[in-house]
Chains A and B, each alone.
Chain A
Amino acid sequence: MTLSLTLSLLSACDLSGAPVSPVDSDTLEVVDPAEFEPAGTDLERFDFTARAEVADAVFVGEVERIDYRQSSPDSRGGTLPFTFVTWRAERAWKGVAPGQRVTARFVGGVTPEGYASVVSELPLFQEGDRDVIFLDQNGLAGCPLLGCAAGRLRLIDGRVYDDEGGSLVADEAGEVVVGGWRNLPEVNVVTVGTVLVDRRVDQDGPGEGADGMPERAFTGLLDSRLVNLRSAPTTRSVNPDAPFVVRFLDREPSR
């Protein structure tokens, strides 16, 4: 709607719709918002205490084994691919004992034809990965991590990253945030069965190349914050060799 008022800029503007020249008193530019936004003020801080309270288990572990399995045929003969990931816990804060092996079941894996079945929300694992795991509803949820990919942190070369290669750093208040990104082959290149999943992530810009905080500092932080948590090894582990049926396959796939 056209305003019926006089603007201070109006005399210099052409309201006919034809191209006009910029007004002298105005400036027009395209900039990086970081130049007028205080850096880092909107970064999401990790609340590990709250996460640990909700999670069934919290531990550092190395992926010892990956098993790809199909669910047993349901009443209509349908199966789904799943990935079973087994960690050996190195340190534990909840639900797992150090040295204990924990196997978790994820949707996606390898199809009967040998294809990699990749699910958009789920992390991918490789034997030898070292992770900080916040386990949640193992054997029940399609992604048995708290917040799915957010429930897995990576320990790579003694530094801490999120599942996408985001570098975990401490902000000015000592809280943990993602302060940058690294293109890490450990993150971007994963073999699913015999299929190489090789991502090309273009993460140029500020923060690129930033290392995550040292693992020791990070686990020390968890030591200080995840106190008084239930430490008994009560976490449910799943058996990759036990047949299982995905119950939803028995129902009509639409309402």
Chain B
Amino acid sequence: MHALRRIAALAFAGLALAPVASAYNIGTAKWASSPKLLIYPSDVTDNAKEWAVLQSVATRLQQNSSTIGFSVGVDDADGVWTSNGENEILYTDSATWLCGSDACCWTSATTTQIVEADVFFNNVDMWETSYAKTDSWAYGGMKRPMAATAMHEFGHALGLGHVSNLYNIMGGDHTFLNTNGNTYSVRLGEDASSGLRALYGSTTGGYEDVTVSHFMYDSFSGEYSTHKRVPVYDSSGGVAANAGTALEPVYKLTKGGRFYFVATLENNGAKSQSPGLRVYLSTDSTITTADTLLTSTSLTLTPDSPYAYVYTGTLSSSLTSGATYYLGVVLDPTNAIAEVDENNNAAYVSAIRIN
């Protein structure tokens, strides 16, 4: 139950209260140089879609706000072992290598240095590789998002441990997504980025990335944080009636009524940012700056732990009863911040149905 940083009435007062530290879990061991993990050769073809995702995740992770980098390549065919001096990736059905999970990371280290990391993924056909929202566990689909789990395991490979008390890729990774429309994207996230900076120091090069998500911290299961869809509240102050599901809610709101919702904002860079923020109403779940603007502001996001952003507004009485709309947020709408990823700045919060 880590407190998200609180900034009361930020849009008007422009004040930030003392930041709360992040929740990362790291050791004293770290890499002397950026590791490259090599996938077992047959997995390049046997698991081609998964391999494509791993490469994109590695590229994404290489771009982080610490001094450590990360890359992947193709292994030789001399076999995969956990202590052979090679950093490797393998799709396997061995419960031992998978340590009873869908994926697992083994690291070999001294007290101060990580010398080897090996990552194992289940080779059952269970991975969502197209970034399609509806196929993903997080939205009731049947598959686990490969990119999110890969980012989690690669985080282990770089020295990050599990986190249970903050919205975090090192917790429940399959609900650590940035989703707009029907596709999602994956990033390391603010707390894990903070952990890497604590371990390796901040990059001297430019690295900026602000994101918005419709997931937030919920609770935990064992060592893992659990996340839920952000709620929308009606004028009673309670969570609005949900005509959808917990995974894809459709909140029922009344025309002319007050409502408020929450969104999760993150600054994955090392420097404070003051992005613009706009709230939109849309007829579909792809939120863009062409949608109907409800309000606009700017806020300061200092790095280390995610923010919960609360919007309070009043629904127009001219909305169509029975119609479905989408509330959404766009961060840095004018692209004033030069980011490594400009495609995770918009998210739909939730569908709403008008009473």
Contact = CB atoms under 8 A, between A and B. Distances in A.
Interface string B84-107: 000000111111111111001111
A12, A31, A80 — which one has the most chain B CB atoms within 10 A of its CB?
A: A31
A119 B104 contact: yes
A111 interface: yes
Contact of B315 (A8, A29, A81, A107): A8
A164 B164 contact: yes
Contacts of A12: 295
A28 B297 contact: yes
A240 interface: no
A121 B98 CA distance: 9
B329 to A, nearest CB: 11
The interface residues of chain A, by DSSP majority, are classed as loop
B314 A8 contact: yes
Interface in A209-255: 246, 248, 253-255
Q: How large is the interface on A (under 10, 10 to 19, 20 to 34, 35 or more residues)?
A: 35 or more
Given A8-B317, A32-B4, A205-B165, A26 B312 contact: yes
Contacts of B156: 120
A181 B165 contact: yes
Given A5-B320, A23-B294, A28 B95 contact: no
A195 B228 CA distance: 38
Contact of B198 (A30, A118, A200, A207): A200
B251 interface: no
Contact of A120 (B26, B40, B80, B105): B105
24 contacts: A7-B281, A7-B318, A8-B316, A8-B317, A8-B318, A25-B313, A27-B9, A28-B10, A28-B309, A28-B311, A33-B216, A34-B1, A36-B237, A116-B110, A117-B82, A117-B108, A120-B105, A121-B99, A143-B99, A147-B222, A150-B223, A166-B164, A199-B25, A253-B94
Given A17-B333, A201-B24, 14 more contacts: A1-B284, A3-B291, A7-B292, A8-B315, A8-B317, A26-B311, A32-B6, A117-B83, A117-B107, A120-B105, A163-B222, A206-B2, A253-B80, A254-B92
Lowest 8 CB-CB distances: which A-B pairs, in order?
A28-B11, A205-B3, A115-B108, A7-B316, A205-B2, A111-B83, A150-B222, A3-B292
Interface of B: 1-12, 20-29, 40, 42-43, 46, 79-83, 90-101, 104-111, 115-116, 123, 153, 156, 161-162, 164-165, 195, 198, 216-223, 226, 228, 233, 237, 256, 262, 265, 276-277, 281-284, 286, 288-299, 307-320, 325, 333-334
